[in-house]
Chain A
Amino acid sequence: MSDQLLFAMEVTLNGLMAGVMYALVALGFVLIFKASGIFNFAQGVMALFAALTLVGFQTGQVPFAHLINAVFGTRIHHFGWSVPTLAAIVATMAVMVLMALLVERLVLKHFVNQAPIILFMATIGLAYFLEGLGDVMWGADIKRLDVGLPQGISETIDGTTFGWFGYGFFIDRLDIVAALVAAALVVSLTLFSQYTRQGRALRAVADDHQAALSVGISLRAIWVLVWSIAGFVALVAGMMWGTKLGVQFSLSLIALKALPVLMLGGFTSIPGAIVGGLIVGVGEKLFEFAVGPMIGGATENWFAYMLALVFLLFRPQGLFGERIIERV
């Protein structure tokens, strides 16, 4: 086989993997949009916040150390212990549930029946707040996240493909883990929403708020639940991306990579998020590979959006989105 074809295949495979990473972030958006019609811009910052909290717990940082030191003139930074990864993950999850509870109590409750754009803005306000809170709690310096996820080239795939084609393909082991985790997430979310009482309530709310309310489903409890699940998805995304980038502010900007995925897949579809992620991943990587060098590269930021835009011209509700029916 020609070199170019092999390269293109390698790029495609890596695009698929990158797409899964984007889809992980997009999943959180979809969950909340589906259940409450809120376009939650804070999802990226939630991933950052979850990762910061995880590292903080793991390494035994004192939360709000800077604030405490500034107010009381003390100089404390660390408790001097470290917490096992699993315990830290559980503790972080508890924080995310607490956050979901507070968000519902303090923010969402007041926005029942508001226009979507107002809700969207409120989540941007929330994003600012969480960003500041994360920095005040844990500090703005870069942190290394190590939860024992593997990283680096997968020797097996490299070796196997070398045996087949005489050219070893590069696949990051972290990406393979991410793909498995994403698959597990989608399966468990589907099972949860199909077979549990809470899950059915969730789908009922997603279908019709008022009908759900009238059969006795508590909207507010469902919102807490769905924000907690989104918090969990954010934690998973934060762990994956945090392992890759180190935990720092830029982690929150992965939300911008998830938006075209959402447009493509539709805001309301969980499989859509995965498929959209794969299309965006492959599309942007192949474009950068094939056309990028001719026009100067660094095309990935806009190409995903352009791709989604062209897609939308033909299917304005996204690939798997609910059909938009307008009545006067």
Chain B
Amino acid sequence: MLYREAGDFKTTYAADGQTFPIAFDRWRYYGVLAVAFGVVPFLINDYWANAVFVPFLIYAIAAIGLNILTGYCGQVSLGTGGFMAVGAYACYKLMTAFPEVSILVHIVLAGGITAGVGLLFGIPSLRIKGFYLAVATLAAQFFLVWLFNKVPWFYNYSASGQISAPERTFLGVAVTGAATPAWAKYLVCLVFVVALAWVARNLTRGALGRQWMAIRDMDIAAEIIGVNPLRAKLAAFAISSFYVGIAGALLFAVYLGAVEVGEAFGINKAFLVLFMIIIGGLGSIFGSFAGAAFLVLLPVLLKNVLVGGLGWSTSLAAHIELMIVGALIVLFLIVEPHGLAQLWRLAKEKLRLWPFPH
């Protein structure tokens, strides 16, 4: 009964080509958005914002970005941490150099700068493929982290090399800095997530997205049918890095407030985001959200159950948590290698017919 096309008549091409063509689907998304914008900001407190919602939204952006590159265009990247660092440091330099310009503009510009850097590191992808490329992107990861650590200009010559976000406001409300209310942090991230997810969804449905998928499935074949691999691959690198850069800027400016590059943007970040898209589902925007939610919430949940619920010592709980996360990842990959998004697709198929058996 749900998710049915039947009875949903379109009379214009615009209606036929809209982002969510099925009426029920569309209304459900409007519903989620209404709750996210209209209800959550009034209920949210510091703990929920800082421990759950803000990291979830930021990682969702990074996951969408990596999904564009890996899930849609088939280029595995382990440089996510490095590109997030570019976003964060670009944002920091812009914030401190032009304090009068709105912080939101800086965040978008930081994404743009990251796109440029991503383009540069995407060039080898024209020649190197598969795991060799994955390992080659580690060069970007390690080099960028080293660079931001080493060149004092990037951290404004501060004594220790930490960067801290000064307070910036938008419409009179603090958006960065310690005085930011929980709902403001949440809303800033939410606005970026919604806008970027919408753009990504439409990009991947369009000509560019189809080119990416052709490259992913077989790049030589794609070239033969007239896809320019240079343009498609570099576009994927640039756009993906744009998303990742914005995620890095938000992570630094809105969420953490102070970062140290080696610790906050290390190799673990790259693996974390890669996990998100694999568990969520390669080549799916919804999957990016599901994967981010899963990997942000799972450790918090496990910790609260094991330490808070069962009263175990934190060390034992932390070790068992690692084992559970590891085992769950393997289990997930065994049960559904196409990720949570595939489960969702299957559920939708079931819902179309429900409550009838056929």
Interface residues of B (CB under 8 A from A): 70, 76, 124, 127-132, 135-136, 138-139, 142-143, 145-146, 149-150, 218, 220-221, 224, 267, 271, 274-275, 278, 282, 312-313, 315-316, 319-330, 333-334, 337
Contacts and interface: CB of A to CB of B under 8 A. Distances in A.
A114 B337 contact: yes
A312 B131 contact: no
A116 interface: yes
B337 A115 contact: yes
Interface string A124-136: 1111111111011
A254 B324 CA distance: 24
A301 B333 CA distance: 31
Contacts of A135: 315, 319, 322
A128 B150 contact: no
A115 B312 CA distance: 39
Nearest to B311: A70
Of listed A115, A125, A295, residue having the most chain B CB within 10 A: A125
A303 B249 CA distance: 26
A227 interface: no
A305 interface: yes
Task: For the complex of A and B, list the 3 residue pairs with the smallest distance between their C-beta atoms, beginning with the closest.
Answer: A129-B326, A128-B326, A132-B322
B136 A296 contact: no
B136 A308 contact: yes
A256 interface: yes
A136 B275 CA distance: 24
A61 to B, nearest CB: 15
Contacts of A326: 220
Contact of A129 (B131, B315, B327): B327
Contacts, number: 141
Contact of A313 (B124, B145, B221, B312): B124
A132 B150 contact: no
Interface of B (DSSP majority class):
helix
Interface residues of A, number: 53
Given A302-B139, A308-B136, 4 more contacts: A118-B278, A118-B337, A136-B320, A312-B132
A124 B273 CA distance: 13
B316 A136 contact: yes
Interface in A97-143: 106-107, 110-111, 114-118, 120-122, 124-133, 135-136, 140
Contact of B136 (A124, A295, A305, A328): A305
A59 interface: no
Contact of B316 (A67, A111, A125, A133): A67
A227 to B, nearest CB: 15
B322 A131 contact: yes
